Amino acid sequence: MKKYIAIFLILIGLISTTFISIPAFTKNIFTEGVYKSSDFNFSEDKTYFVQNVSSENAVFLTLYDENQLVIQSIRLEANSNK
């Protein structure tokens, strides 16, 4: 009986780990470069946050509109909060 309970608990543990979702911030870590909004999969009904995960370097983030006019510029220090 103890064997069956142990096997059952192991199976429950294995099955439950397959349903754990990955947070969005771990999926989208971008390096230096120029990106389009389609690279980020934006949704209009959500609020997004940016964070500099680098431990050494600051980041300068600039957002442009479709006419390449600056909308917003942000400088993020190393290990910045959201």
What's the CA gap between 19 and 23, in Å, rounded? Answer: 12
Residue 47 has pLDDT above 80, yes or no: yes
Beta strands in the chain (DSSP E): 59-64, 70-76
Structural domain count, the chain? 1
- Residue 74 DSSP SS3: strand
Residue 15 lies inside a defined structural domain of this protein? yes
Chain-centre distance for alpha carbon 58: 18
pLDDT band at 21 (very low <50, low <70, confident <90, very high): low
Q: Give the mean pLDDT of 17-33.
A: 63
Residue 23 has pLDDT above 80, yes or no: no
Residue 81 lies inside a defined structural domain of this protein? no
Q: What percent of the chain has pLDDT over 70?
A: 84
| Tokens describing residue 21 | 């979702």
Q: Give the mean pLDDT of 52-72.
A: 87
Domain with 70 in it: 2-76
For the question of whether the overall pTM of this predicted structure is more than 0.85, the answer is no
